Structure 1
Amino acid sequence: MFQKIKPPEGGEFIKVEGGKLVVPPNPIVPYIEGDGIGPEVVNAARKMVDAAVETSYKGERKIVWWKVYAGIEAEPIYGTLLPEDTLNAIKTARVALKGPMTTPIGSGWRSVNVALRQLLDLYANIRPVKYIKGIPAPHKYADKVDIIIFRENTEDVYAGIEWKYDSPEAAKIREFLKKEFNIQLREDSGIGLKPISRFATRRIMRAALNWAIEYNRKRVTVMHKGNIMKYTEGYFKIWAFELAKEEFGDKVVFEEELQGGEVPEGKILVNDRIADNMFNQIITRPWDYDVIVTPNLNGDYLSDAAAALVGGLGIAPGANVGDNIGMFEPIHGSAPKYAGKNVANPTATALSAAIMLDYIGWHEAADLLRKGIEETIASHKVTQDIARHLGIEPLSTTEFTEEVIKNIKRLGT
């Protein structure tokens, strides 16, 4: 199965039985260091995870890490940015931790991040946004932000169906549209397609509602621009509501049914918001939003904007989840200008790893990891991206990691 890597000794693979993960006490977890600051933040996060697991389970559980390759590091080894070895490793192990990857703008390769999500069918991009005490957030209501964004991961413009403006294919499509539908496009128009399917919409809504039930969330809001894109984003809303009614009818109530009344006890409110209004409302009244379900592009925009409310991308974690498979990564980029300088903030990667621990059912370690990070930041022991706003001396990546581990061990005793 593997050409240039082999599973590490001393670990076992997570299995699936009866549609659920069966996690051994020593699961093998692949990790991709990524580009730019990736190696620094991923290795810092792994150390924090190891400390949280050791402290929580007193040596009875342990993650056995397995380095695999993607991005710039993979090319000299495999001749490709995304080798089959890596895809097979993640499929076999069921979970992976991943660092940020570089994506060229306007030319070069398509996003390795997007390719991984599509090839592994990681259809739910889950991005929690929550304020951490001690972060100098710019927003008046930062402490009231506690949002989970479920971004559909496989369709929309991210499907990558597009043609360069001067290509023969674009010319053929312009001619076809003119001849068959009397649609006239300028001759210098690049063309892209935006597919949104009932199948993909229903499964992202299902994932969001299951999350809301498991974690006792109160609202699920569908964000869309269906007033303009009626047959793509408009149907995203229609199909999402359809799924909620058909599969969760006894657990949800729709906003229009309430007519201004209170949500019944034990029910989850399902509503929708137009995309531009959604951006307005997460700023002016963030307490009204809990779980937000979006098409791919909307979710990308919204998650970065929401992260800004609580202090930026340096503390913003993410997860890409399919059916019994998950890849966990920060949502920030590779920041190549900071690579190798030991100044990067590993918080987002470590919080992504905490979601991974929750995903495999190791909730005690996940909670301890989060508490260790929160305690460290609250005491103003932070890296340069936060320290510059506080007017204090920053910690290096290594020093911040050591402080988090100290707090993990102290809090876990």
Structure 2
Amino acid sequence: MMQDRSGKGKKRGYRIAVLPGDGIGPEVIREGVKAVRAALGRTGATPVEFQELAGGADHYLKTGIDFPEESMKACRDADAVFLGASGLPEVEKPDGTGISLAWDLRKGMDLFAAVRPVTLFNSRITPLSKRKAGSIRFTIIRENSEGIYASRYNGTLLHDEVAVNPMIVTRKGTERIMRFAFETARNSPGAPADGRRRLTCVDKSNVLVCWAFFRKIYDEIASGYPDIEKDYRYIDAMALHMVQQPERFDVIVAENQHGDVLSDLGAALVGGLGFAPSANIGIGRAMFEPAHGTAPTIAGQNIANPIATILSGAMMLRWLASEHRDASLAKAAGLIDGAVAAVLERGKVLTVDVGGKATTEAMGNAVVRAIEA
């Protein structure tokens, strides 16, 4: 994820567009911003301004607009976007689809690569036995602009009898996600089991021609990366192998829907979606968000796990550091990662989703104390 493709230089300051969103979104984004501010202050990094913006299902209920144009413009103009979560189960558009600021940002800013790190920080929070902290550590690269999801607003319902959504796989889109994934593997520490850098291509190429095409382009791009070990899995087998031997995986690349499903499975292996950060990367633009939803049943109770959001904040700083060759931001990102790892490894402060008693705010405060220590 950290390749510098832009040629941009270090800036005197950065502006982050913040979208708190709905449900637990405002609660977790508050802790994410708090941790980022603490790390920036601790390292004396380049100043960062946070601009909070309106949007989401609640805003739609009040105004009839889910994502105001001025908010989208501010996101496009910002150096990065930091999103809490958006959408509520009971709020639908006239076509029956839900509210998703993330979807609109991915499409509107061409954020083609979803980056989903999966890391085990504490052996007590995984459902798998005999797994130590660090023994599960891989990254899922999900193609974000094509696949079955690309037809979200273009499906066809015929006479209330037949519904059709086409699968879209293009050479351009697949080539760029494969290059991104191979570059990510080239910069990875390797799989925990053997230290080897490998890229696993996940598809169902034995069934549909679109997935056979996806794998064909993987092989073509792989020829330019002889230092990265090639690996293949069908999607059904991948679900099995992620549970049985997660330590063997390093970087995984998959079509949009496949990557979406595998991301949730990966999160389950390391404690749940509260530990699942993500980045959505385009050319010179990016949005960062926890992979979880709005969890409206616990919203406002101060019990949501903010770790995924805090780690997403670290990913944001690291991406900005790469884009702008700003070592101070990379240092701040490292402080956040180290603080989260230290707090979770000690295991004294854990949220209720993994059997602890800490509130959202208390979890954020524990990370900030570790940053400032």
Q: TM-score range by the shorter chain?
A: 0.7 to 0.9
How many residues align? The count is: 348
What is the CA–CA distance in structure 1 between the aligned matches of 2:272 and 2:5, rounded to whole Å? Answer: 40
Structure 2 residue 368 is the aligned partner of structure 1 residue 408: no
Structure 2 residue 61 is the aligned partner of structure 1 residue 61: no
Cα displacement (A) at 1:92: 1.4
After TM superposition, the structure 1 = structure 2 runs for residues 208-247 of structure 1, keeping only pairs within 5 Å, are 208-217=181-190, 218-229=197-208, 231-245=209-223
After TM superposition, the structure 1 = structure 2 runs for residues 127-166 of structure 1, keeping only pairs within 5 Å, are 127-133=116-122, 135-140=124-129, 142-143=131-132, 144-159=135-150, 160=152, 161-166=154-159
What is the CA–CA distance in structure 1 between the aligned matches of 2:60 and 2:83, rounded to whole Å? Answer: 17
CA-based RMSD of the aligned residues comes to 2.0
What is the CA–CA distance in structure 1 between the aligned matches of 2:69 and 2:10, rounded to whole Å? Answer: 24
Cα displacement (A) at 1:397: 1.2
Q: 1:208 and 1:103, CA in 2 relative to 1: closer, same or farther beyond 3 A?
A: farther
Q: 1:216 and 1:324, CA in 2 relative to 1: closer, same or farther beyond 3 A?
A: farther
What is the CA–CA distance in structure 1 between the aligned matches of 2:292 and 2:142, rounded to whole Å? Answer: 16
Is contact 2:127-2:269 (8 Å) kept? yes
Cα displacement (A) at 1:315: 0.6
Q: 1:77 and 1:29, CA in 2 relative to 1: closer, same or farther beyond 3 A?
A: farther
Q: 1:18 and 1:313, CA in 2 relative to 1: closer, same or farther beyond 3 A?
A: closer
Match of 1:383 in 2: 351
Q: 1:71 and 1:220, CA in 2 relative to 1: closer, same or farther beyond 3 A?
A: same
Q: Secondary structure at the match of 2:22?
A: coil
After TM superposition, the structure 1 = structure 2 runs for residues 111-126 of structure 1, keeping only pairs within 5 Å, are 111-126=100-115
Q: Which has the larger radius of gyration?
A: 1
Match of 2:193 in 1: none
Is contact 2:57-2:99 (8 Å) kept? no
Structure 1 unaligned regions, length at least 5: 1-16, 168-187, 253-266
- Output the amino acid matched with 2:30: N
Cα displacement (A) at 1:25: 4.1
After TM superposition, the structure 1 = structure 2 runs for residues 166-205 of structure 1, keeping only pairs within 5 Å, are 166=159, 188-205=161-178
Deviations 1:154-196 (A, max 9, x none): 11111113123535xxxxxxxxxxxxxxxxxxxx221111111
Q: Secondary structure at the match of 1:24?
A: coil
Deviations 1:207-263 (A, max 9, x none): 11122223354001110011111x211111111221222xx2xx32xxxxxxxxxxx
Q: Secondary structure at the match of 1:154?
A: coil
- Output the amino acid matched with 2:199: V
- Output the amino acid matched with 1:94: D
Q: Percent identity?
A: 31
Match of 1:340 in 2: 300
Deviations 1:75-102 (A, max 9, x none): 3676411222222222212311101112
What is the CA–CA distance in structure 2 between the aligned matches of 1:103 and 1:25, rounded to whole Å? Answer: 38
What is the CA–CA distance in structure 2 between the aligned matches of 1:282 and 1:108, rounded to whole Å? Answer: 31
Q: Secondary structure at the match of 1:99?
A: strand
Deviations 1:338-363 (A, max 9, x none): 11111111100011111111101122
Q: 1:162 and 1:103, CA in 2 relative to 1: closer, same or farther beyond 3 A?
A: farther
Q: Secondary structure at the match of 2:199?
A: strand
What is the CA–CA distance in structure 1 between the aligned matches of 2:146 and 2:7, rounded to whole Å? Answer: 26
Structure 2 residue 83 is the aligned partner of structure 1 residue 98: yes
Structure 2 residue 329 is the aligned partner of structure 1 residue 356: no
Is contact 2:56-2:99 (8 Å) kept? no
- Output the amino acid matched with 1:43: R
Greater RCO (CA < 8 Å, at least 6 residues apart)? 2
Name the TM-score, length of structure 2 as normaliser: 0.88
Name the TM-score, length of structure 1 as normaliser: 0.80
Q: 1:293 and 1:18, CA in 2 relative to 1: closer, same or farther beyond 3 A?
A: closer
Match of 1:324 in 2: 284
Q: 1:235 and 1:132, CA in 2 relative to 1: closer, same or farther beyond 3 A?
A: same
Cα displacement (A) at 1:66: 0.6
Is contact 2:277-2:291 (8 Å) kept? yes
Q: 1:109 and 1:406, CA in 2 relative to 1: closer, same or farther beyond 3 A?
A: closer
Structure 2 unaligned regions, length at least 5: 191-196, 322-328
What is the CA–CA distance in structure 2 between the aligned matches of 1:301 and 1:397, rounded to whole Å? Answer: 26
What is the CA–CA distance in structure 2 between the aligned matches of 1:150 and 1:199, rounded to whole Å? Answer: 16
- Between 1:33-42 and 1:101-110, the stretch displaced more is 101-110
What is the CA–CA distance in structure 1 between the aligned matches of 2:175 and 2:61, rounded to whole Å? Answer: 40
Cα displacement (A) at 1:282: 1.2
Is contact 1:21-1:324 (8 Å) kept? no
Structure 2 residue 67 is the aligned partner of structure 1 residue 107: no
Of 315, 318, 339 in structure 2, the residue corresponding to residue 372 of structure 1 is: 339
What is the CA–CA distance in structure 2 between the aligned matches of 1:29 and 1:114, rounded to whole Å? Answer: 19
Q: 1:18 and 1:373, CA in 2 relative to 1: closer, same or farther beyond 3 A?
A: closer
What is the CA–CA distance in structure 1 between the aligned matches of 2:124 and 2:278, rounded to whole Å? Answer: 19
What is the CA–CA distance in structure 1 between the aligned matches of 2:253 and 2:130, rounded to whole Å? Answer: 22
Q: 1:293 and 1:316, CA in 2 relative to 1: closer, same or farther beyond 3 A?
A: same
Match of 1:275 in 2: 235
- Output the amino acid matched with 2:167: K
What is the CA–CA distance in structure 1 between the aligned matches of 2:57 and 2:315, rounded to whole Å? Answer: 26
Of 347, 360, 365 in structure 2, the residue corresponding to residue 397 of structure 1 is: 360
Match of 1:86 in 2: 71
- Output the amino acid matched with 1:306: G
- Output the amino acid matched with 1:326: A
- Output the amino acid matched with 1:115: D
